[in-house]
Every structure is written in C-alpha cells, then in structure tokens.
Structure 1
Amino acid sequence: MTAPRIAMPARLSAADGADARVGLANAIFHDVAALVRAQGLEVVVVHDPSLDGFDGLVLPGGGDVDPARYGGDTSAPCYDVNPAQDALDLAIVDEAMRRGIPVLGVCRGLQVLNVACGGSLVEHLPHTDVRHTPLKADDDGLRWAWHPVDLAAGSRLVAHAGASAIEVASGHHQAVRRVGDGLVVTATAADGVIEAVEHPTAPVLAVQWHPEAKDTPPALAAAPFAVFAALVREARA
C-alpha cells in the first residue's frame, strides 16, 4: 500500500528583505514537513485547495490572518498579512472539513483552523508573565521563547505526550480569542492563552507552539504528528 498523501499549503510570502519572522516561518516549513514524513506519510506542497487524492492536511506556521476575516481590529499591529495566503489556507481547511479529511495545524495553522470554524483571534497579545513572542538572537535573528503548557486530561495530545505538563517552544503574538464552532481547548499556558485545540468527533487538532523547534525532545516533537498519523490511517482504513 502506498504511503498516505498529505497536503501542505505553500508559503506565499518571500522572506527576502521582509520581517525576520517571515524568514523563520519559511525555514521551519521544511522542518514541519520532515516531522510529517517521519510518521511514514508523503508530503505534497500545494498551491490550490483541491484535496483530490489526499489523505490529510497539515497547516504550517506563517504570518497573521487578516483581522477582517474574523471581524477583528484591522488597525492592530499585524505582520505579513497576505490575502492570497489567507484565501488558500482557509479554502483548503473548508475543503478538508467538508470531506472529513484529518487536519493538523501548527501555530498559524491553529489560528487558521479556528477562524475557518467561525472563531476569532487576539490580534496582539498583551504582556504577561509568560513569554510567547520570539526573542532576538545574538546574530540578529530570532530564537524561540520557551514556557510550560498544561494538557487536558483525556485529550488526544496528552495520550501521546506522556505527561500532563510539557515545555514548548513559542513564537507567536496572536492567539485564539473566541473558540471556533466544534473545537475544544486541550492545552493552555499559565496566563490562559489557548495552546491547543481538538475536535471531539472529527479528525482535527492543532497546537499553538512549535514542535519542530530543534531543542524539543524527540518524543514531544513527534507527539502531534503521531496523533495526526493515527487519524490519517484510521480514516484511510
């Protein structure tokens, strides 16, 4: 039997001369794809929302969803708002949900999923005792902010993570405000920021953190992708 085929929507913003966060998102796209492949899945980068012949969808990180998409404040300090990216990502989520195809979101991917399900976002997180935004590195690049998150008992994630509290790599300045229809919160940070969601009956989950960050323990890096791979194989069967 051939490996399940997983669609990943292309990143449409060029990193050259742009916000450093765009370059980081483009670079880690390949790290997310590697974690998908490590589960025995085939990754195909797509530029349109058709999911014919696909067994799953992975939504990677990237820039901000246009606040106009969820009735938010369009004057908020957003970055890399790309109408073409929003159109592609939201349309492909809608298609996956319509078909019942498993979905995994990472960082922006969680936010896209939430908006696609009718939810809204915090346009710019206030400062709290938990650092969510990336920090400046010595080489003028960016490095992850690390903090603990609590996983909900009974969630798909906690079963694979092997612990109810984990340390994660964070690199976002937006978060879920109103949870989308059908989604449930399955992880939170100490300041209440929503760090993961799942759908209790559909094969859908997403994390706000970056499991692909290089210092993440291998088992924790693999956990969301292992859940996703199991959902893909179950749906395919």
Structure 2
Amino acid sequence: MSTIFNGNRPKIGISSWRRDLPTFLGEKTDLFTLDPDYAKSVWLAGGIPVLIPQTSIDLIQDYVDLLDGLIVSGGGDISPLVYGEVDTGQSYDVNVETDRFEIALIHEAAKRNLPTLGICRGLQLLQVAFGGKMLQDLHEKFPNHPKTKGSAEEILNQRHVVDFSEDCMFAQIYRSTHHIVNTIHHQCVQSVGKGFRPVGWSEDGIIEAVESETSWFALGVQWHPEKMKSPQEQELFRYFIQSIDHLTKKKV
C-alpha cells in the first residue's frame, strides 16, 4: 500500500460497473463504466480516483498494491447464487463473474487492512462477502419503502430518513443520529456479514449503514452520497480519506 507523505493524494480504487451499452460499435458494447460523481467526490475530498475494471482474479493482489483505499461502488444487483439463494427472477443486471471478482477484491482488502467504503451495491457486497444475506425484493417485507419508479429526476429526488446508533462513525461524520438520504435501490441487506454490525436503519427497519467490528477500517451505506448535492454528503468522503491519512501515519 502506497504511503501518504508531504500532502500527496491517496490513491482510491473505485470498482467499475460492467454493462452493455450502445456505441458506434453496436447496440450492446461491453464496457467498464463509472458515474463521474464518484471520481469527483474522491477528488474533492483529497484523493486520486483510480478505476478498477473486472479482469482476472489473479491480478487482485497487484491492484491492492497500488491503492491506499477502496470504494466498492453501486451497479447491478448481486446474483443470488453468490449468497446461496435461489434466483427468484427479481434481480436485475446480474453478472456472476463481476460479483466473484469484487468479492475476491474485498477479501484481499480485508486481509491487507485496506480502508474500504461500500456504496449501495458496495455495502451489499461487503456483507455478502462475509456471509451476509440479501432480500431480492425489499418491498415484499417493507412495502412502504420508496420505490425506484418514475423518471430519473423523480428517483434521484426521493428521500427517506436514516437513524444511526449514537456510538457509530456516521453519527460523528454527520454530527447527528438522524439523516436524510436518497433512495436508489430495490434490494437490501437482510443480515450482515461476519465482522460487521448494523449502525443505521430506515424508519421501516432496513439496514442502511454498517461498519466493521474488527481492526479493518470498513464501512458501508445503502444510499448514494455522491448523487446528493448537499455539502454535508461530501463529509463522508472527506472522513474516509482523512482516516486513510491518519491510519497511514500511525504505521510510519
């Protein structure tokens, strides 16, 4: 893991979303993509964003060698096969190869104590990687939770409330145990993975934030802070990168 000295920006790997999109090469062009808001948030917080494409699992150790921190980003649903469930047909944009690659990346990050932040799908992968379970359609259990329907603007403008444990990092980051977030998901974590604890919940009881209970600095959120324009949301990225700086200096 590279070292942060003399104001050098830490290198923050961000997982990419592999999907088929129309280009001049055809209607379904296989691409690694990333919402630029992730890169912008990392840059504004003091880091250098580094896109991580899904390649060979054999390269994961080399990826981690390059990085000071890792963000597991949003994207398609996780295949139920990965967390030992029957696919009921309610999961979308699944890619088992990507799931397995990113889970292997998470395991290597944990092994190396590489600071890690999971966002939406990233939170879910952090839990599945360590035995957590998912609800393939959260609305079967939480029918009143906002649905991801309507125009892009309508979906991005939906909000709901999350309440944090008083002793968690998020209460410190947002200086409150009560926070308003966006709603861009139709699945959720049913049970957390080994080594994590839930620390934030929606009003109807969905797990919305988790943090590691071990020496590994890892946390995750179900919402998309990079898509919220409030300056307060930038505090999560700033806290993450400042923590990397602090943890690195402790090792020197």
Q: TM-score, normalised by structure 1?
A: 0.88
Q: Secondary structure at the match of 1:181?
A: coil
Q: What is the one-letter code of the residue matched to 1:187?
A: G
AA paired with 1:41? G
Partner of 1:40: 46
Greater share of residues in strand: 2
Asked whether the 8 Å contact 2:138–2:188 carries over to 1, the reply is yes
Distance (Å, rounded) in 1 between the aligned partners of 2:100 and 2:49: 21
Residue 87 (str. 1) matches residue 93 (str. 2)? no
Q: Deviations over 1:14-48 (max 9, x none)?
A: 34478xxxxxxx56x21122111111111111224
Matches of 2:231 and 2:73, distance apart in 1: 19
Tell me if structure 1 keeps the 8 A contact 2:209–2:220.
yes
Q: Offset at 1:156?
A: 0.7
User: Structure 1 residues 59, 30: CA separation in 2 closer, same or farther (over 3 Å shift)?
Assistant: same
- Mind listing any 5+ residue stretches in structure 2 that lack a counterpart? 1-5
* Pairing partner for 1:136 from 150, 154, 160: 150
**CA-atom RMSD, angstroms?**
2.2
Does residue 224 of structure 1 match 2:224?
Answer: no
Q: Is the 8 A contact 2:82 2:96 kept in 1?
A: no
Write the deviation string for residues 140-161 of structure 1: whole angstroms up to 9, x where unpaired.
Answer: x853421011011111111010
Query: Following TM superposition, by how much is the alpha carbon of 1:59 offset from its aligned partner in structure 2, in angstroms?
Result: 0.7
Pairwise CA distance, 1:103: 0.2
Report what 1:205 is aligned to. Answer: 219
2:174 to 149, 161, 173: 161
Note if contact 2:155-2:184 (Cα within 8 Å) is conserved in structure 1. no
Distance 1:225 1:79 in 2: 28
| Amino acid aligned to 2:235 | A
Consecutive aligned runs of 4 or more in structure 1 exceeding 4 Å deviation: none
Measure how far apart 1:173 and its partner are: 0.8
Q: Does 1:193 align with 2:206?
A: yes
Aligned partner of 1:44: which letter? V
Q: What TM-score, normalized by structure 2, do the two folds share?
A: 0.83
Structure with the greater alpha carbon radius of gyration: 2
Structure 1 contact 12–84 (Cα < 8 Å) conserved = no
- Residue 8 of structure 1 aligns to a residue whose secondary structure is strand
Q: Where in structure 1 are there 5+ consecutive unaligned residues?
A: 19-25
SS of 2:236 mapped into structure 1: helix
- Within the candidate set 165, 172, 186, 1:152 is matched to 165
| Secondary structure, aligned partner of 1:163 | coil
In structure 1, distance between residues paired with 2:64 and 2:231: 30
Equivalent pairs counted in the alignment come to: 227
Cα-to-partner distance string for 1:57-103 (whole Å, 9 max, x where unaligned):
00110001110111123123110001232122111111100100000
Q: Tell me, yes or no, if structure 1 residue 31 matches structure 2 residue 37.
A: yes
Matched AA of 1:206: G
Identity %: 31
Instruction: Note the C-alpha offset of 1:234.
Output: 2.1
C-alpha distance in 1 between matches for 2:82 and 2:109: 19
